[in-house]
Structure 1
Amino acid sequence: MVSHTVGPMEAGKKVHRLVRQLLPGVPLSGIHKMLRVGRVRLNGKKAKPDTLVAEGDVLELRMAEEDFAVVSKPTRKYGGVPREIDVIYEDETVLAVNKPMGLLTHGTAEEQRDTLANRVLAYLFDKGELGNSGFAPAPANRLDRNTSGIILFGKTGDMARELANGFKDHTIRKWYLAVVKGHVKSGGKIDVGLSRDPQQNLTRVDKESGKASFTVYDPLASANGTSIVRLELISGRTHQIRVHMQHIGHPLVSDRKYQGGKVIRRPAGSMSENAGRGMGKQQPSSRYGSNSDAEEPKYLLHAAWLRLPMGDVLHAPLPVPYRQQLLALGYPEDVISKLESEVPE
């Protein structure tokens, strides 16, 4: 007999769904038969398929442990999902990934779409770190498709909740790099409400009834009618940086949706080069997905730094296309390297 204690991430599931989760190698007809003949018991009693389980409940499966060892192995191979992810930092409980531009952060896992979340699941599956406990690592934060940079994943349920709380109470801080139109002479704080129009996929300034939104910005360099700014998000609304910078008259360069003008094109014959790596407890990386030099950014917005509650700072280097665009705009290589090396306070 096999005994399983219901954990916090499994609480609220129906018995038949939990059994299917625990026994991925058993066909659905076999699951129903086990329930029907009483080979599944909940807290010592015959389990009903639609009963909701609670944390601490004990589910008993009347089967040999050697059989359980076979049918409990995940069968999903994540076929067709690329394994390539740019790992910035990884330990037993946390995974930090540098999301490339052009890639969705997450989607519906069953669809096997090429999203960062699915790439991470495939990566962990191949490492043997995906079990049948009911917990699947998911992004603790998200970035828009055309924004690159740091995404955190909790590899355990406890860490996932800790990271979610860290973003919610702002003990995890995050900074972005952006290229905007105009010469930003001094820094400041933007405090203006935002509201979302899902039909138009637009975010708008709404001083009357918009959600409170705060962005702190500091100019780092200027060239040819543009500025590189570092921004800290105090709140995390959709398109917040893009709308806030438009609001103060400095929309992101090439951001057509928010009056940023035409897309910048690389000059003919420009050569790509590897971006420098970051600092701290970080792993070697190569260029993956749309961080390759074949892609051109729609606008230049990159989640470059993230400070964890214990004080450690993670850094995601600029993608190669971003560095090329900055060079094309007239920013010297040493300026680009310097602004990346300065850790925000």
Structure 2
Amino acid sequence: MNVTYHNLAAMEEGGETMRLELPPETEGWRLDQALAHLLPEYTRTQIQGWLKAGLALVDGQPARGSQRVLGMERVHLRIPPPQPGAWGAEEIPLDVYYEDEDILVLNKPAGLVAHPAPGNPEGTLLNAILHHAPACATLPRAGIVHRLDKDTSGLLVVAKSEAARQDLVEQLAAREVTREYQALVVGAMTGGGRIEAPIGRHPVDRKRMAVTGSGKTAVTHYRIAERFPRHTLVRVRLETGRTHQIRVHMAHIHHPLVGDPVYGGRQIVPPGLDGGEQAQWRAFRRQALHAARLAFLHPRTGERVAWEAPLPADFEMMLDLLRRSRERTEKRPD
């Protein structure tokens, strides 16, 4: 299909081009609603702004956010790069594991939001990157090519040039980036496995993700690292990278992450802990998820590079409590 953008000046300013096909399930939806469903990494407000700016075509024709779709339409969407000065640089400490002229590998602490959004206009990882590497201001999302949730800790890579960013994006799409996590889940698991279940926006609560037939393909591999009476430490490898993928998939198989405020369900306190230890356990109010290992091909050299990051102190504390619980439980007389 030959396409001529009706807002050519805007289209030529750079950014990312997306070519999408609306699934049949979106029949009768507003266009902005359908695109928000397909692109959960962006807010509906962002998408509406791009539509108003004339950055989308539906079957080669100008598009409006309010128009109803039939499903199966082809959409060409240009996501513009950030405007200079749109985000401010802030002197926020970064735990830098590696840096050269092409990439920056960071160990993100829990509690740090990846980039500005409604409710978090500043104090984010992106603001910190702009202070550390000002040249990243010219790149989409300041070079952040994959994100970690606010309360997930661990390793991520940031591109420092457009060539490196494109290369890393292509590696992610080709599933050549290795991302391994440690997750503490509720329940005594009996073995590892593979979860393949599509993930999309929750049909009722648009702030959540869910396993849904109209979602995008999502594959998660997991294996047991350590067993406890009522919990399990697992090592998780992502084959795809959907929003909240590990959290949604583990909850889907009835082993939600400890501390997850969205998908976690009822809190399970380990047996055998004293009052102070129980208070420590209950004070852990984030999902127990850590991006422990990251590996990919260096964008410039093509060499396979890899890093590992140890568990943060609060996660280690939870494991220490579980080990105490296990030891005391095993010592109980029959």
- What TM-score do you get using the length of structure 2 for normalisation? 0.62
Tell me the CA shift for residue 262 of structure 1: 2.8
CA distance in 2, matches of 1:326, 1:173: 25
CA distance in 2, matches of 1:112, 1:204: 27
Any idea what SS the aligned residue of 1:180 has?
A: strand
Any idea what SS the aligned residue of 2:115 has?
A: coil
CA distance in 2, matches of 1:231, 1:239: 13
Asked if the contact 1:263/1:298 (under 8 Å) is kept, the reply is no
CA distance in 1, matches of 2:143, 2:277: 40
Structure number with larger C-alpha Rg: 1
Q: Extract unaligned runs of 5+ from structure 2.
A: 1-9, 15-83, 298-302, 326-334
Asked if the contact 2:155/2:293 (under 8 Å) is kept, the reply is yes
CA shift in 2, pair 1:215/1:75, >3 Å: closer
Is 2:324 aligned against 1:319? Answer: no
CA distance in 1, matches of 2:310, 2:277: 23
- What TM-score do you get using the length of structure 1 for normalisation? 0.60
CA distance in 2, matches of 1:122, 1:145: 20
CA distance in 1, matches of 2:277, 2:255: 30
Match for residue 181 of structure 1?
186
Is 2:98 aligned against 1:93? Answer: no
CA shift in 2, pair 1:143/1:258, >3 Å: same
Runs of 4+ in structure 1 deviating by more than 3 angstroms, as ranges, are 74-79, 134-137, 263-270
Tell me the CA shift for residue 160 of structure 1: 1.1
Match for residue 126 of structure 2?
117
Match for residue 36 of structure 1?
none
How many residue pairs get aligned? The number is 233
Is 2:321 aligned against 1:328? Answer: yes
Asked if the contact 1:224/1:330 (under 8 Å) is kept, the reply is no
Cα-to-partner distance string for 1:37-77 (whole Å, 9 max, x where unaligned):
xxxxxxxxxxxxxxxxxxxxxxxxxxxxxxxxxxxxx9999
Asked if the contact 2:186/2:268 (under 8 Å) is kept, the reply is no
Counting only pairs closer than 5 Å after superposition, residues 330-345 of structure 1 correspond to structure 2 as 330=323
CA shift in 2, pair 1:188/1:263, >3 Å: closer
- Superposition RMSD in Å: 3.3
Structure 1 vs Structure 2: percent identity of aligned residues?
32
Match for residue 13 of structure 2?
13
Cα-to-partner distance string for 1:281-301 (whole Å, 9 max, x where unaligned):
xxxxxxxxxxxxxx9451200
CA shift in 2, pair 1:269/1:241, >3 Å: closer
CA distance in 2, matches of 1:112, 1:194: 27
Cα-to-partner distance string for 1:293-326 (whole Å, 9 max, x where unaligned):
xx94512001111111232211122111111111
Counting only pairs closer than 5 Å after superposition, residues 216-295 of structure 1 correspond to structure 2 as 216-262=221-267, 268=276
CA distance in 1, matches of 2:110, 2:234: 19
Tell me the CA shift for residue 209 of structure 1: 2.4
Asked if the contact 2:261/2:285 (under 8 Å) is kept, the reply is no
Match for residue 40 of structure 2?
none
